Every structure is written in structure tokens, then in C-alpha cells.
Structure 1
Amino acid sequence: MEDTAIEEAEVSGAAEFAPALVAAHPQGHSVAVAVGSELRVFNLKVGCAVSLAEDTGGRSHSDAIRDICFSANGALFASAGDDKLVKVWKTDTWCCIRTITSEKRVSAVAISTNGLYVTFADKFGVVWLVTLGENGAEHVSVDNKPVSILGHYCSIITSMKFSPDGRFIATADRDFKIRITLFPRNPLKGAHEIQSFCLGHTDFVSCISFTRISEGQSFLITGGGDSTIRLWDYINGCLLDTFQIRDKMGELLEANVTDDSNLAIADICPSNDGSLVAVAIQGFNGVMLLTCDLIGKKLSFLKVITMEKSYIPTSLASSSSTEALWTVMGASNMPNQAASQLLTRLRIVPHFQKDQLSSAYSGPPILEDSEVPHGEKLLLALQGSLDIAKQEEVLASVLAALKVSMHKMLVKKHYSEERREQRKRGRNDKKFKS
């Protein structure tokens, strides 16, 4: 039965589902949304959509973008995906200053805390590194090719982040592992020193994020397919606390949603001070808010912000200056999906801080479209359309997939002996030998 379901997912394209992504500039200067091969950026300071420029002579993204991120100071932005391209942008001009070609499809990308390096992970679980230089990639020669620095041994890396102090790089995979690696002074020679492993998830790890308690102390928060949010002392690889999502979600979901795989964690986003964690859950129309007591090392339920039934967030982001939580819904690589259907929907939580989102706060939890900063200009630029009816029609087609797609995409596939032999005969290396 399991083999049949997986094979159907492969044929239909659900296993290749690509969620829409959102990223916010650390100082609130801009916000970016990626859906399919499209990268949409809005300048919040000027109040207009950004026209992306290409300075490298490279090609634009031609397939689904799988990860996007800003650098710690917001000066750089990176995008990467299924077209095997990693593109680095300067955010003051939004010119692409570096286009890097990967040997395999890219699943995660990150910029080092000091802004000198960009790392990306491919579908074989290998992490590659490219030097950017002191003032951006324009000072690096074109023959600066990627070098491999670490690997997860053929396990797809699902998320990758640098620690706030830049000392470590954390990588998570679909085989339940989180590796904390010491980021060396000369990473071009490889990152061979493993600080710790954070082991405890019982299904794929879908998202990781650092949260800082002070200048010299931070913790790691992770979410996965086992429906848990976990708090880690990542330096020592110690699990500090586990919050089980399904304990709070049963009464909020439809009666027919009982399988734990339908409660996979889609994304997590800590608040600026680390006291709150927003959680997007596969199949749930809203976000769950947890309090994070970094002194007591405890995760606790605060509340749920419920959105319309047709809205399931696929990605979350926040910035240090605006105190807003950005959420986006959308997908690409769906069966029979045309390029004109690459629409997204944005919902913004205006006061993403503990005191204003407590149970006693009575203010609006979500901004209406008319209250969104820069209004229709921003929505048109990032959503692709202002026609709510059209959005509903397009997003309704991906709603069912959003409830199950993450598990189908990341769960390790199991095949019958007969099916394994069929796949072996179809492999390219076997064909070439014959």
C-alpha cells in the first residue's frame, strides 16, 4: 500500500511539490517572496516593487526556487533551487553579483554571518562553499569554483543555518539528524570538526533556527515530520525540551486528519528577542505561537492565530525592526499548473512580540489587506494578483496538496523488491553500461 501511494505521488508530481517562500530583510528594508522560478522583491523603505538586475551574465532561475535568505546584516541575499543555480544579490541595488552552478539540485542555501561565504547543499547531502570576498562577490574571480566542505552521506539536507556568532554551521536532513559543525577560519580546506549531533527527532527535520539569549549565548530550535518542536543546547548536543504539536491540534483540525504525518512542521520563526516561536503546521490554516523561556529552557503553548480555511502558510519570516510576522501561501510544480497560476497569498501578523500576542491582548491578530504597509502596491508585487477570486481559485488547487505534500516530499521512500529492481534497470548508469 505504501509503495503504491509513493509511486502515485511520483507520477502526479506531488513528491516534487515546491512551497512558496518568504524572507524579510533583518532591518525591515525589504521583503522577498519566491514561488516556482519567480523571485519577487518589494522595497519597504521606498514603497515600490524591485526590478532585479543581472550583472554576472548568468541566466535567471528556470525551475523551482527551494531556499532564499538574507545575510545577517542584510547586505546580501541568496536564492537557490532545482535549476542547480545559486544566485547572490546585493540588496542596495538588487543586482545579481554572482551566479554559481551546482552539479546537483540545491536544497538549502546560507550566507556566513560575516558575509564572506555562501554555502549551499545539494540533493546528495553535500555542502559546498564559495568565497564572496570582503565587499561582495564582485571582487572574486570567475574561476572561484565551489568546494565541498562537509556531507550528510546521501541524505537530503533540508535546512542550513549559521549560528549568530558565526562559529558554527547547523545542517539538518531527512534522516532525523542535525549536525553542528565548527566553521573554520579557512573553510576552503573543509569543515571537518564536528561539534555535536542533535539527535532526538523521529522523522525528517524540516526546519531549524537559532535564537539568542545574550551576546554570547544562543540556542537551536527545530521542527520536523514527527510533529514536534525541540529546543537544543547545540554546543553540547543536549535536548532541553520537546513540545508535541498534536497534543494541542487535535480539536482544531478536521476529524479526518488523524495521521501524524499530516501534522508535519512546515516552518518555524522565532521573535526578535527569542521569547516567541511561530510555527506553521502542514494542513493547518493558521500559525501556532509558543513561548520560549530561554532561562528556564522550556517551550510552552501560548495561542493559535487562525486564518481563513483556504489559507495554509508554507513559509514564515520576521525582521528585527518591524516586529511583524510575514506568512505566505503558495506552491509550484503542481500537476497541470501553468506559469500564469504562480500566485501567492500573504497574511501579516503586525505585533510579533510576547506582550501583545498574549491571551490578554485584544488587538487585531492579522492585518486586513487594506491595512498592509504600502497596500495594493505591495500585495500586487508579492502575490502576483489583487484578484481575490482568482487567488482563491488557484490556491484551492494546491490546498489539498499542502496538507500532505511535505511528508511525501521528505519522507524516506520504501520500495518492494520488485519495484527496486525496476528502478535499477531504469538508472542512467545502468543504461550506459548496457
Structure 2
Amino acid sequence: MEDAGIEEAEVSGGAEFAPALVAAHPLGSSVAVAVGPELRVFDLKAGSAVSLSDDSGGSSHSDAIRAISFSANGVLFASAGDDKLVKVWKTDSWCCIRTITSEKRASAVAISNDGTHLTFADKFGVVWLVTMEESVGGQKPTDNKPVSILGHYCSIITSMKFSPDGRYIATADRDFKIRITLFPERPLRGVHEIQSFCLGHTDFVSCIAFTCLSEGPSFLLSGGGDSTVRLWDYINGCLLDTCQVRDKVEELIETSETGDNNLAVTDICPTNDGSLVAVAIQSLNGVMLLACDLVTKKLSFLKVMTMEKSYIPTSLSSSFSADLLWTVMGASNMPNQATSQLFTRLKIIPNFKKDPLASSDHVPTVLEDSEVPHGEKLLLALQGSLDIGKQEEVLASVLAALKVSMHKMLVKKHYSEERREQRKRGRNDKKIKKRNICSSCDHRFVACT
């Protein structure tokens, strides 16, 4: 790869923008959207926005939230981000019961299937674990510190999931690999037994998701910067099938006009039985649907659900009990944008769980804003308010920001020898300057820092 092309991310400068995230409660009782430091929750049963509270004694998120996740039974919810905070919420009251401080910025979070352990990954590729003692007998948590359990050798972990049976934890990174690790009964001693590596992606892995038949083995789906969705036998680390999405997308968008040839897969969301997979793709104004046959172990293109031109989803989610596919678009740290005006757009696709091949009546369609559940109340709670006349302008800015963000965060930079030496000298100069300042101080070094 040419140095000039790669250094483009560095010279472009600017802030690193965090995409908006959406997560649906497994039982369909609520939906959460994270944009910037804001966490917005709507109670679908009560039909009203949720007011969050905090009994953990910790501070609220002050920087972009990078990962959100419900527990398998929906009792707990976790959020983590660039402020080095991981917060755990009880979903019956939406009260924060735990605030954990990470040493580095968090990039992924997951809760074990039995709800007894929380794992989160940081930007250095280390996975940390905390025991959730409050989930047993309603007791208050002790102040146990996170314990490192596994690592990806200084590679950003982009996605982390527990297998349906809870026996394995899957972690994906920007260095093209997926690691499947046995999750032991006593993980505080370390999660050292590697079951397999799923190797085949030729660019960063952006997302992973487990899927399984109602009765039978489970499989792993992954998407990445190489514009592919892949199906894995993760127990043995075997690649079963690969679906190239680039060709289908290029038929729908004219990349030559937009100047954007990056068609990375940004998120995937399978149905409960794995028969259908929704795929979000950078630069695609819509969602691609893939048919997934877990019996023959094949992926095939089904159709593209196109949306308005300025709407490109950044995150997808669906619950186990409902047939709605939730999609969101948005970004944090927008230029000249106040925190209270962080803007997201929400689109919902119904009939997502029904087999579209069985009947033409069940083909999913995108709901209009007037057709979404709870209508304007839900949209106002999750999208935030914004002058309608400025939507197109803001959405255009969001699109540009997200393209830069993914390039800066996930595409690994390569430098010429000369540039590499300059960076080393810059780092060494800072260390020498800091040592000189501290050595000239009468106080101890700890006090100086």
C-alpha cells in the first residue's frame, strides 16, 4: 500500500467522529440510541421517553459513547466510550448501578449470557472483565476492579460477542482477524484457551454476530472493510461462505460521481433463525438483505431496501420477540454543533423476522415517519429536535464526518521510513522534556504528574 495514500488520514486532521448506535431490548420492551455522550431510551410498552438516573456515584458520559449492549435476558444494559467510562444500567428502572473506569478508551462491550460478568475492550486491544455481583440476590456491588483476561496485541478490538451457549467469546479487530476464546467458569483467572482464529478478511473486521438454527449448531457472521459478509464455522475456524457486497452496491450508486469507493460493511444484524441478514454499508442509502441458509451454509444476495438519498445507516438492531429492524444514522462532534443538538435519524423496517422468500406479502418495507410505533413521541425522544429545513445540510455533514472517522479509526496507517523516524523523534522529545521538568521540580515525580 502506498505511503501517500495512507498518510491522507493523518493530514486530514480534525476530530474523530463517533457514529450513532442503536440497540433493541431482546424482549422488545425498549430501544436505546447513543449519539455523542448522550444515551436516549424509549419505553415501547409505556409509549414514553425514559428519564435516566444514576445511583453508582460515578459521573455521566462526557465523551462519545462507542459501544452499547443489552444482556441476553434484557435485565442489564451497558454503555462504554471515549471518556474511559463503562456504565451498567438496570433496564426495569433505567438506573445506572455501576460506573467502571477504564485505563484506556473503550471500543467494545458485552455482557455474559447469565449476566454475571461484564467485558469491555480498550483501544490497545485488551479485554477487561468485571464481576456483576449486584445481579445475584439484589445485593449492592463491591468496588472490584477490572481484570484483564485476553488481548489482541495492540490492535483495536472493533466488536465483541458471546456465543449463544455462553461457552465462547468472539473478538474482532482492525488487523483482519477474529479470535474465538473459551470462556471459562472462573474467567477472573484469565481467558487463555483459544478455540480458533477465523482468518479470511483482507481488511479490518468491523462487526460480528452469532446466529443459529432453532435446534442445532450456531454460526458466526462477520463484515468488514473488504466489502464482504462472511459465514463461519467458528468452532473450527472454517470459512463456509463469502458474499461480496461491492458489486451489488456499485450497481445502485455511482461512486465515480461521489468520489467515494469505500464500501465497508459497518454493521450486520441477523434474524433469530439466521435465515435473513441485514447489512449496513458505508455510502449505501439503505440496508442490504442477504438470505442465509444454515443448512447448506450459503449466503446469497436478496435485495436492497433503499431509503432517502441522505440517509446512510450507521447501526442496526432487532429484538428476539419483535419483527422490527431498527436503523439509525448520526455522528458526534459535528462542527458548530452543541451537545444538546446532537442529531440522529431513525428508520424502521417491519416484518424483518418473516421469511421474504415464503410470501411476497412479507417483503419488508421502510416505514414512513408517520407510521413508526408511537409516532412523533418516539422520533422526538430518539432523534432529538432540529429545524426541518436544516436536515439535509446536517445529514451531509454527518456523512462526510463518518467517512473520515472510519478511515482514521480502523484503517491502519503506514508511514515511510523518513516519516516514521520523525514520529519517533517527536515522541522521544516529549519524554525528554517531561523528564527534565520533573527532575527540576522539588516535589516527588508522582506529585508532578
1:168 corresponds in structure 2 to 168
Query: If you compute each CA radius of gyration, which structure gives the higher value, 1 or 2?
Result: 2
Q: Give 1:254 deviation, angstroms.
A: 1.6
| Aligned position for 2:327 | 327
Q: TM-score, normalised by structure 1?
A: 0.94
Per the alignment, residue 116 of structure 1 pairs with 116
Q: Describe how 1:48-59 pairs up with structure 2 within 5 A.
A: 48-59=48-59
Q: Any conservation in 2 of the 1:125–1:157 contact (CA below 8 Å)?
A: yes
Do the aligned partners of residues 379 and 250 (structure 1) sit closer, same or farther apart at CA in structure 2, a change above 3 Å counting?
same
Residue 260 (structure 1) shift? 8.7
- Paired residues for 1:221-370 under 5 Å: 221-256=221-256, 262-356=262-356, 360-361=360-361, 365-370=365-370
Separation (CA, whole Å) in 1 of partners of 2:137 and 2:276: 35
User: Take 2:346 and 2:334, find their aligned partners in 1: how far apart are those partners?
Assistant: 20
1:32 aligns with 2:35: no
Shift of 1:89: 0.2
**Cα–Cα, structure 1 residues 410 and 137, in superposed 2: closer, same or farther, change >3 Å?**
farther
Question: Which residue does the alignment assign to 2:9?
Answer: 6
Where structure 1 has 5 or more consecutive residues not aligned to the other structure, the ranges are: none
Q: Matches of 2:403 and 2:10 in 1, distance apart?
A: 18
Does the 8 Å contact 1:125/1:154 carry over to 2?
yes
Change (3 A) 1:373 1:260: same
The residue number in structure 2 matching 1:128 is 128
Which residue does the alignment assign to 1:46?
Answer: 46
Q: Give the aligned residue type for 2:63.
A: D
CA distance in 2, matches of 1:223, 1:110: 18
SS of the residue corresponding to residue 256 of structure 2 reads coil
Instruction: Check 1:138–1:125 CA distance in 2 against 1; reply closer, same or farther (3 A cut).
Output: farther
Count of aligned pairs: 431
1:335-384: CA deviations, max 9, x gaps?
44332431100000011035347783486711111111011110000000
Amino acid at match of 1:248: K
Does residue 1:66 correspond to 2:66, yes or no?
yes
Change (3 A) 1:17 1:350: same
- For 1:4 and 1:197, locate their aligned partners in 2 and report how far apart those are by CA, in whole Å: 30
Quote how far apart the aligned CAs of 1:401 are.
3.1
Q: CA deviation at 1:213?
A: 1.3
User: Contact 2:79 / 2:109 at 8 angstroms: preserved in 1?
Assistant: yes
Secondary structure of 1:188's counterpart equals helix
* Rounded Cα–Cα distance in structure 1 between residues aligned with 2:414 and 2:134: 46
Contact kept? 1:20, 1:344, Cα under 8 Å:
yes
State the SS of the aligned residue for 1:321. coil
Amino acid at match of 2:370: S
CA distance in 2, matches of 1:24, 1:187: 28
Structure 1 residue 255 displacement after superposition: 3.7
Check whether the contact 1:302–1:358 (CA below 8 A) recurs between aligned residues: no
Deviation at 1:39, TM superposition (A): 0.2
Secondary structure, counterpart of 1:262 in structure 2: coil
Partner of 1:409: 409
- Superposed displacement of residue 116, structure 1: 0.3
Q: Secondary structure at the match of 1:420?
A: helix
Identity of aligned residues (%): 77
What CA RMSD, in Å, does the superposition of the two structures yield over aligned residues? Answer: 2.0
Counterpart amino acid of residue 52 in structure 1 = L
The 8 Å contact of residues 376 and 386 in structure 1, kept in 2 or not, is answered as no
Please report how far the alpha carbon of residue 385 of structure 1 lies from its aligned counterpart in structure 2 after TM superposition.
Answer: 1.6
